Structure 1
Amino acid sequence: MGFPVSGCVLKYCAMQNPQQAPEPPLYWDTPGTKFNFTIVFALVVTLIGFMQVNPFLFILGVGVATYSWLTNAKQYLVYPDALVIVYGRPRVKTYPFDTIAHLELLSLPMGDRLRLRMTDGRRMMLKTRDAENFRIQLDAALDAFYGGDWKSGQGQEEEARQQRPAENQLGESSGENDDVPY
């Protein structure tokens, strides 16, 4: 399984090592589904708005298609020091490992999802094709980054919560037993 190199990934590698050739990721995966129905429906609405000369439908279709393009992940890349999520061009988000506080695999009715909790309290859901293998690979990269001290976020999240002020604790009603899927 070869890694398809995109321009966005090369940009990330160039930012990390400007003098060296880009290094391939340790592991990569694609989203659980290849086909994006939201973009298709939005483009149909755009076409209907164009054919009927209805500017509201046209603008609504273009807006929803653009939003869907920029917010649905195309690739998940694990590097030695960061998790990189490639969305529709030109959007690429880099999450350094020191901002990830907790990692867990959730078994939901719509399939397995990987949930990341960041040190600032934000949560993020990853919909990878092989969630279990991606979790194992990301755990291994986090363990290597922390020098063998990574235990899937136990203790690191509590330490991060104590370091930030209460007004910056986003989406947290209590610090005990949070089993909410997202």
Structure 2
Amino acid sequence: MGVAPANAVIVTRAYSLTASNFQNFNGTPSPITALSAAFQLTYDDSMSGFVGAPTSFSSITNGVPNAGPFAAAPIFGYFPAAGPMATFPRLGVGGALNGGNTLLNRTDDFYFTFDASAAGPTRAMLSFTAAGNATPFIATDAIVTPVAVVAAVPEPATWAMFIVGFGLLGGVMRRRQRANVRFA
């Protein structure tokens, strides 16, 4: 019996993220008091590592859309459970400015990870850096919530055209003249 490769499963999931309590080690007040984000990720759960850009990502910081550290074009990765330190699969999303999971002081960048297998709201490890600050900020209350991905449903007019088209096709086939074939 040979070893077969794992079957690839393409996963598409949508999430919302909220956070409002940001702190850093120096006690510097955070430039962001409230964050909310919505994002959708599509990935192969048999792979590990950074995948590319999210299918969609939008954020609101202090009431302003796509501002500050969260304005950077993000990248994301899927990391399966591996060993005693990572007992569940994780998704990581971060600004691509410094690399997916790297925060350099005094830059506008961010990174957060969360449990990819959670069926409901789950805590996230979120940190960001701001252009004027020497140390990163950490959210103590970041929550990621899965959101149902709605599949596309054809409009009623599309269904009507399907039905009429199949009806016409059936009518044409039914009324077709039979050809008489004679052999000499």
TM-score category of the 2 structures, normalised to the smaller one: under 0.3
Scaled by the length of structure 1, the TM-score of the pair is 0.23
**Structure with the higher fraction of residues in strand conformation:** 2
Scaled by the length of structure 2, the TM-score of the pair is 0.23
Say which one has the larger Rg: 2
**Structure with the higher fraction of residues in helix conformation:** 1
